[in-house]
Amino acid sequence: MIDLNVKSSAWSVSELTQRVKNLLEGHFDQVSIEGEISDFTAASSGHWYFTLKDSDSQVRCAMFRSANAKLRFRPSRGDHVQIRARVSLYTSRGEFQLIAQHMQPVGDGALQQAFEQLKAKLFEEGLFSVERKQPVPDSARRIGVITSASGAALHDIIAVLERRSPMTEVFLFPVPVQGADAPGALVRALEQANQLHEEQILPLDVLIVGRGGGSAEDLWAFNDEALARSIVKSGLPVVSAVGHEIDFSISDFVADQRAATPSAAAELVSLDQVQWSQRLDDAQRVLQGLMARRFAQERAVLGHWQARLRHPGTALAQQRQLLDSRVQQLSLLMQNQLRSHRSALINWNNKLESHHPGRNIEQLASLLTQRKRELLQLIRSNLRRYRATLDQHEQLLTTLGPENTLARGYALVTGPDGQIIRNTTDAPIHSEVQIRLAKGELTAKVVATPEDEASDTKP
């Protein structure tokens, strides 16, 4: 027993809630609680959260995904259920709660409720619709049977087919038909049969899926949702034959056709030997009638052509005469064609000789040589003319260049900014100027200008 008396220093809220949680979980083992579900929520994590209540009280409950995945039904608000749970405390909110480990309905039973829920769900999706179901052959030659290898269902199917249709081939896909592993095995067998059929390894006409009678728990594998969807996806027609006539399973509703028993399924997809004989007799009579009518028609046609038939000698003589005439015409036509082609050939040969490329090549080669000489002469003439013009320009540039002018005693004067001084106004008194001579440069200072001197001489 944990002592909850106040200690010398105050507890934190976390310490208190943790101690209360330890006290509840240590004092209570698992408890069974019955009540009505309210505020049911299925979280995206897969966990369920709900409130269980009666007329006077309520308690918060949680059922984690690992536990609710084992249930065969999905509860909803208003359901009356019984749960087996651990007593605990949700410390984050300090809230008393139950952690449900198992749940079962109170009233109709878990299996029936799960059956009705899945049936309603698949019906709303349209999986029971007649429009989507495939036709089932009534005289299958190759039948796939998905059932237990040791069950009575296989024996009943084989016995019916041996009696009614011995030529029918049966291929067994052995699976367990009850227990936790049965639904998955049934789904894999369906997929395997369809794959072998599609790949033409084992072509089949129809599949029979089923088992013999038993309790609701024994037949429960055929109420599996994954199996139902696998039957709907099957490319082969599927006949569901589960239990006895009074037994109904989800596979019966989604299959292309339901048979009350495995024996009834075998009768459904096979044709009795007596019926085969009757069909053959009917086909023989029909064939004989058709052949008799066809012979009569052909005999009438033959009589018609016999009446119109003439001795072939006359026709052959006429054809021989016509052939001789055609041979003569053909010979004359070929001779005319040969003369015409020979004349055209001579004309083309003359034209070809006149346009022979060798002659053109010689003329063009001579013209090319002449043009080459003319081009060289023109280039030399232009070079001489350009060189004389260049020499004249060079002499003129040398004559007019600043170096010759300076050599004759002239000077080039520039101001401090490098601009050439052409007027006395460009060089104020006291400004420095650069004087470039033929050899060397001088720096000078302006002390007077003619304008200054003239102003000094005035009275």
| Residue 145: predicted pLDDT | 96
d(CA 224, CA 221): 6
Residue 116: its pLDDT value, please?
84
pTM for the structure as a whole = 0.46
Q: What is the pLDDT of residue 184?
A: 94
The answer to whether position 324 is within a domain reads: no
For 24-78, what is each residue's pLDDT tens digit? 766 677 888 988 888 899 999 999 999 998 878 888 999 999 999 888 778 888 7
Confidence check: pLDDT of 3 > 70: no
| Same domain as 220, residue 292 | no
**Tokens for 39?**
């505020």
Do residues 170 and 160 both lie within one domain?
Answer: yes
Q: For residues 285 and 134, which has the higher predicted lDDT (pLDDT)?
A: 134
Residue 149 shares a structural domain with residue 263: yes
Q: How confident is the model at residue 457 (pLDDT cuts 50, 70, 90)?
A: low
**Residue-level pLDDT at 1:** 44
Domain that holds residue 380: 369-400
pLDDT for 256-275, tens place per residue? 999 999 999 999 998 887 77
Same domain, yes or no, for 395 and 412? no
Question: Could you tell me the pLDDT band of residue 2, with boundaries at 50, 70 and 90?
Answer: very low
Range in 119-133, 222-236, 270-284, 443-457 the model is least confident about:
443-457
Q: Would you say 214 and 180 are in contact if contact means Cβ atoms under 8 Å apart? A: no
Q: Which of 108-112, 116-120, 318-322 is predicted least confidently?
A: 108-112
Whether 100 shows a pLDDT value over 70: the answer reads: yes
pLDDT > 70 in the chain, percent? 93
Residue 284 lies in a domain: yes
pLDDT at position 81, please? 86
The last residue of a domain, from among 82, 107, 132:
107
Decide: 106 and 54 in contact? Cβ < 8 Å: no
N- to C-terminal Cα separation, the chain: 138
Helix (H, G, I), strand (E, B) or coil at 285: helix
* CATH number of the structural domain spanning residue 20: 2.40.50.140
Q: Is 310 contained in some domain?
A: no
pLDDT of 361 strictly over 70 = yes
Exposed / middle / buried, residue 427 (Cβ in 10 Å: 0-12, 13-18, 19+): buried
Based on the domain organization, do 202 and 230 belong to the same domain?
A: yes
Number of domains in the chain: 5
Q: What is the predicted pLDDT for the residue at 7?
A: 52
Contacts of 404 (CB under 8 A, 6+ apart): 398
Region 206-217 average pLDDT: 87
